[in-house]
Amino acid sequence: MTNILCIGAGYVGGSTMPIVASHCPQHRFVVVDINEARIAAWQSDKLPIYEPGLDEVVRKTRDKNLFFSTDVDKHIAEADIIFVSVNTPTKTFGQGAGKAADLQYWEKTARQILENSTSSKIVVEKSTLPVRTAEAMERILNSNGKSLHFDVLSNPEFLAEGTAVRDMENPDRVLIGGRETESGQKAVEALVELYANWIPRERIITSNLWSSELSKLVANAFLAQRISSINAISALCEKTEADVSEVAHAIGLDNRIGKYFLRASVGFGGSCFKKDILHLVYLCEQYGLPEVATYWEQVVTMNEYQEMRFTSNMVASMFNTVAGKRIALFGTAFKANTNDTRESPALEVCRTLLEEHAEVVMTDPHAIENARYDLGELAQRVIFEPDPYTAAKGAHAIAILTEWSQYTQLDYEKIYVSMVKPAFLFDGRNLLDHRKLYEVGFNVYPIGKPALTHLHSQ
Ligand code: NAD
Ligand code: UGA
């Protein structure tokens, strides 16, 4: 039996470890966090994150070979392998503020591991980190007077929220980076063995440490770049009566381009895309590559432009003022099937509409609490309403901001009747049947497609 510890019980630690534990009943897993409320929630019937299929895996493994705890020091001492999945946000202060990674939680963890270790260990970077962070980790860990040896591996996580269970069960690949020393390679092999409990060997790839660290940042940058590319084209479509879904379909059939991640939207959100691209930009600047930095920064700039374009279009379409108008925002989560609202475009749209003095009502099937939290003081000016019918009642406009399948099932005739006329619908996800909504009476504004409005004929 191997004692496996994961430090950080957030979205990554909390959703990956139960799945690993379910495939490795021969090993013992502990997930620790300094956040007591979070650990209590992992131990309860209401998990702190909404992730389809996760409840069942947690129920199957918890208190058998999976345990949650706040006693970080004790479990460090007992562990053979330690995954570190603490948060690595963007720095908000000092050098590199607004771009560089804030590694304070990371470094604290390294020191805590050192302080509490009485045996040699494998330490695995699961958090997303700037390339060459493992070097700093190694220096801290191996500068000990205890004659202990620590092998540091990079094993970035590629799961997406909302599909975490599926992604972990059946990943496209698992990447493990390690030192090319004898002990480094032995550590890599130990981790390969762990994953080989359920993942075919050919999908477990190994590389040097720096390639592994960098591959994670680059994977997110490429994914986000595709969204910004199609969103840039959506703006051109709106000027030319081309339809962005038709363009995406036509180009996506080319195998070299591929069909995924070409859904035009109000913009990408989530805790990682923006953060990881900005970390990449900062690294490029630090290594004296300003042209490369500017190239990638444009992906974030285009995303901000898309969010801004969406709300400007709302205001312009509603006769250049939304002051005092009730506007129902459908969806607060940054994507469907998660309760995560970090960097959600819905919150940005909400902030801009509040600046315009609109009366904002937000609804979401799972993410209202997090939206309230993330909006901070502004939340006091927002009405939160779990029922979409009530949210839309008396509204001048609806904006679809999360692609929840529930929103495709609503009775839009009933909703239309309850709204102020002319009634507007802005579909920031191209989720609904726009022709049908137009026939019901709505003035419909999709992304990257011609608007369907009754206003010209009035
Ligand atoms: P999160 O904020 O949800 O969770 C991080 C947890 O670490 C928090 O609960 C925090 O309390 C805990 N923590 C911080 N310092 C600690 C310490 N010293 N000891 C114990 N616990 C500590 O973050 P997340 O979304 O799980 O992301 C974690 C990392 O994984 C980030 O680097 C992120 O970029 C990366 N990542 C995230 C996703 C995702 O889908 N969210 C996917 C792939 C990679
Ligand atoms: C993303 C990556 O997909 C994961 O591989 C990675 O592990 C993770 O970031 C991370 O490092 O945190 P995630 O942010 O959870 O996963 O979700 P995505 O499915 O990538 O969606 C991100 C955002 O892009 C969402 O707001 C989504 O609505 C938007 N999106 C996605 C589009 O607007 N269009 C698309 O075609 C696809």
Q: What is the pLDDT of residues 323-335, one digit of tens each?
A: 999 999 999 999 9
Lookup: tokens for 281 = 């930009």
- Measured in degrees and rounded to the nearest 5, phi and psi for residue 62 equal -60, 135
Give pLDDT tens digits for 198-214.
999 999 999 999 999 99
Alpha helix segments (H runs only) across 318-384: 345-355, 368-375
72 C-alpha vs ligand 1 centroid, how far in Å? Answer: 15
Per-residue pLDDT tens for 254-296?
999 999 999 999 999 999 999 999 999 999 999 999 999 999 9
Of 83, 70, 74, 77, whose CA–CA distance to 18 is shortest?
A: 83
Residue range 11-27: average pLDDT? 98
Record the tokens describing residue 298, joined without a space.
């444009």
The per-residue b/e assignment along 125-162, b for 16 or more CB within 10 angstroms, e otherwise, is bbbbbbbebbebbbebbeeeeeeeebbbbbbbbbbebb
> In ligand 2, which atom is closest to the CA atom of 167?
5
Phi and psi torsions of 378, nearest 5°: -60, -25
Q: Which of 5, 6, 7, 12 to mutate to test the pocket of ligand 1 (most atoms within 8 A of CB)?
A: 12
Closest atom of ligand 2 to 344 CA is: 26
Check if 38 has its Cβ closer than 6 Å to any atom of ligand 1: yes
Report which of 219, 225, 12, 216 is spatially closest to residue 131, judged by C-alpha positions: 216
Residue 160: what pLDDT?
97
Pick the residue whose CA is nearest to atom 14 on ligand 1: 86
pLDDT tens for each residue of 180-201: 999 999 999 999 999 999 999 9
Mean local confidence (pLDDT), 404-433: 98
Q: What is the pLDDT of residues 289-299, one digit of tens each?
A: 999 999 999 99
The model's confidence at residue 145, banded by pLDDT at 50, 70 and 90, is confident
Q: What letter represents residue 403's amino acid?
A: E
Active centre residues (catalytic)? 272
Percent of the chain residues topping a pLDDT of 70:
100
Atom number, ligand 2, closest to the C-alpha of residue 161: 15
Cα separation, 94 vs 81, in Å, equals 34
**Which ligand is the nearest neighbour of the Cα of 107?**
1
Q: What separation in Å is there between the alpha carbon of 404 and the centre of ligand 1?
A: 25
Q: Which sign, positive or negative, has the C-alpha torsion 230, 231, 233, 234?
A: positive
Q: Is 41 in the pocket of ligand 1 (CB under 6 A)?
A: no
Q: What is the mean pLDDT of residues 14-36?
A: 98
Cα angle 276-280-281, degrees, rounded to a multiple of 5: 115
CB contact at 8 A, 82 and 75: no
Phi-psi region of 448 (alpha: psi -120 to 50; beta: other; left: phi over 0): left
Beta carbons of 122 and 191 less than 8 angstroms apart: yes
What distance in angstroms lies between residue 218's CA and the mean position of ligand 1's atoms?
19
SS3 88: coil
The finding on whether 271 has its CB within 6 A of some atom of ligand 1 is yes
| Residue 12 CA, ligand 1 centroid: distance in Å | 6
Instruction: Give the residue-averaged pLDDT of 69-91.
Output: 96
Average of per-residue pLDDT values in the chain: 96
pTM for the whole structure: 0.97
In the predicted model, what is the mean pLDDT of residues 223-242? 97
In 62-172, beta strands by DSSP E:
66-69, 81-84, 121-125, 150-154
Per-residue burial over 258-281, b = 16 or more CB atoms within 10 Å of its CB, e = otherwise: eeebbbbbbbbbbbbbbbbbbbbb
Q: Counting ligands in written order, which one lies closest to the CA of residue 129?
A: 1
What's the gap in Å between 155 CA and the centre of ligand 1? 14
